[in-house]
Amino acid sequence: MARTAWIRYTLVTALGVAIVAGVMIFFAPVAAADPSMPGGTLAWMPATVTDNSSKTTYSFALRADEDPPTPGIGSVVMVLGGPAVSLCTVRMTGSLDVDFSTAPESGSFPYQNVQCGRAFAQTVAIDGCVATVKAHGFLHSDDPNTNILDGMTIALRFQKTGPSSGNFDATISTVAKRIEIHGKATSEAPIIMPTCP
């Protein structure tokens, strides 16, 4: 996917670019996997989930890969958006440094190095038809959720229930409050999850 177009500030732009320019990369072929062994993949895009409580519908795209040699650790790329909220997983493109030889001490500009995209060394466990993911990211949220433009952590449990459906349970933690999304996720696109044929 084109780096410059993946995500700007709106989820609509991000999903549009992903669908047009990145479907082949996002859904690169993955080998069939043993459900009891680490190293699974969950890939699904685009899809929607409707929250059971608020009846709000969110659009999302997700790919999570558990590293075969390190069970419970892997990489995650995700975008999600709906009324008054949008988020993406992020990675740092530079290092965090401080020069202690200057007075006053000065260093790198962390926010300039934060980029929407694949987050590495995150919590990823894919067992059979269940994926458990915890990843850091960036959130833009307005009322009625909470007014915040900042970093966040998303904890997601996804259980595939059909070729193009599953149970989606997410908790988005911010410095202001938690945002909960729990509901049935569906799409016309098939879920790629070799541990759950």
Span 43-62, pLDDT tens digits: 999 999 999 999 999 999 99
- 120, β-bridge pairs: none
Per-domain residue ranges for the chain? 37-93+107-186
Interatomic CA distance for residues 84 and 90, integer angstroms: 20
Sign of torsion over alpha carbons 97, 101, 105, 106? negative
- Better pLDDT: 50 or 35: 50
Interatomic CA distance for residues 126 and 70, integer angstroms: 12
**pLDDT, mean over the chain:** 84
What is the reported pLDDT for 129? Answer: 97
pLDDT digits (tens, 9 = 90+) for 158-187: 999 999 999 999 999 999 889 999 999 999
Interatomic CA distance for residues 127 and 42, integer angstroms: 10
State the pLDDT confidence band at 96, using cuts at 50, 70 and 90. Answer: confident
Residue 5 above 60 pLDDT? no
- On the CB side of 55, how many CA atoms lie within 13 Å of its CA? 0
What is the reported pLDDT for 61? Answer: 98
- 148, β-bridge pairs: 141
Residue with tokens 């790329």: 77
Tell me the two tokens of residue 106. Answer: 């000065």
What is the reported pLDDT for 23? Answer: 38
Per-position b or e across 14-38, b if 16+ CB within 10 A of its CB: bbebbeeebeeebeeebeebebeeb
Tell me the two tokens of residue 72. Answer: 């419970």
